[in-house]
Amino acid sequence: MKSEMDAKASRPPESGRGPGAAEPLRLRAGPLTMFFEPATAFLRRIRLGEVEVIRGIYAAVRDRNWGTALPIISNLKSQISNGSFALSFDAECGQGDVHFRWQGEITGAPDGTVKFSFDGEALANFWRNRIGFCVLHPIRECAGARARQTRTDGRVVECRFPDTIEPQIFGRSSFQDLRAVAHEVAAGLWAEVEFDGDVFEMEDQRNWTDASFKTYCTPLAMPFPVEIRAGTRVCQSITLRLVGARASFRESRVEVAEPGAPQVTLPPPTAPRLPMPRLGLGLASHGGPLTDRELARLRSLPLAHLRVDVKLGAVDWPTVWERAAGEARQLGIGLELALHLPRSDDG
């Protein structure tokens, strides 16, 4: 095993899945069911019977350009019983100058308490926008639901999750300065998520066509990016509890569902039909050209534009621009250009 000095001097691994990616682990914490993805360290689809309580809990390392340094997972250990579990694993994130290692622990108790802990250390100097947990609440179950915010000063705010899409105005989220957030799962039964290690706030991901409310650490009103020095530690935890009418779930005997896409039934439309908004796609992140099959499928969609983010501080920006312009021509659609100007201290 490498010493700590050797680890800090080593080159960060390339982001992506670790070797031997395994199938998701099906888990139960008392009445709650869920699954864990060993390849990504995502805890997903936490359910009470057929009701989705939490869409996902995961940790992310975001660089100064909001790029995500994906983890390589190793040393996964598990103890799984019929009503409880304990997992532990190591994760290493490397992308560009980012080199960060963290240890994860997830436990599930028979009373329905689930805790996900994150203990990490920077192994190099780098700039980050965010390091830590994100929690996703499902739209279908939570939109318009009664909610309760606990602020960092201890105040409790009674409210509701937004029913319609809430505009995301910088620094003005209706769920902010959070130490905990709870929502009513059923009459008298609440699911409370407690945050420790940072300040959290929530945004309505429907603004970006995602079906979740996303609660993340390090509010956007705080300065970013921030330089992280080698040896800096980041420790956080997320705790999910069921609170209230416990008799309504104590006798749950729901089988753990196989992970996969849920079945969705769309009723016939009753509201007046409205024009479809003009939709586009972003340039594929894999860096390679589109195949003939991909081009044919994309041409069959009524796309309005292809978006490209050109980072003028990157040495390969002319190549990215030429690739985007060529693919827009091939698809016969317009090009949406987003220019990212370099910082003055980047040269």
On average, the pLDDT of the chain sits at: 87
Residue 270 pLDDT greater than 60, yes or no = yes
In this structure, of 17-26, 64-73, 223-232, the range with the lowest mean pLDDT score is: 17-26
Beta strands 212-217 and 200-204 are antiparallel
Whether 42 is covered by a domain: the verdict is yes
Residues 178 and 46 in one domain: yes
DSSP symbols for 58-119: EEEEEETTS-B-PEEEEEEEEEE-SS-EEEEEEEEEEETTEEEEEEEEEEE-TTS-EEEEEE
Distance CA 133, CA 105 (A): 13
- A 10 A CB-CB count for 230 gives 12
Whether 259 is covered by a domain: the verdict is no
Residue range 169-196: average pLDDT? 90
In this structure, of 165-169, 252-256, 320-324, the range with the lowest mean pLDDT score is: 252-256
Residues 301 and 158 in one domain: no
Whether 130 is covered by a domain: the verdict is yes
| pLDDT at res. 243 | 92
Whether 257 is covered by a domain: the verdict is no
Whether 258 is covered by a domain: the verdict is no
234-249 pLDDT per residue, tens: 999 999 999 987 545 5
Residues 234 and 298 in one domain: no
Whether 261 is covered by a domain: the verdict is no
- Record the pTM: 0.71
114-135 pLDDT per residue, tens: 999 999 999 999 999 999 999 9
Distance of CA 271 to the CA centre of its chain: 32
15-57 pLDDT per residue, tens: 444 444 578 999 999 999 999 999 999 999 999 999 999 999 9
| pLDDT at res. 13 | 52
Distance CA 251, CA 236 (A): 32
What total of structural domains would you count in the chain?
A: 2
Residues 240 and 289 in one domain: no
Residues 228 and 309 in one domain: no
| pLDDT at res. 257 | 43
Residue 6 pLDDT greater than 60, yes or no = no
Q: Which domain holds residue 320?
A: 280-346
Residues 62 and 199 in one domain: yes
Sequence letter at residue 28? R
Residue 187 pLDDT greater than 80, yes or no = yes
Residues 156 and 239 in one domain: yes
289-318 pLDDT per residue, tens: 889 999 999 999 889 999 999 989 888 899
Residues 314 and 167 in one domain: no
Residue 96 pLDDT greater than 80, yes or no = yes
| pLDDT at res. 174 | 86
Whether 105 is covered by a domain: the verdict is yes
Whether 325 is covered by a domain: the verdict is yes
pLDDT tier at 169, thresholds 50, 70, 90: confident
CATH number for the domain spanning 125: value is 2.70.98.10
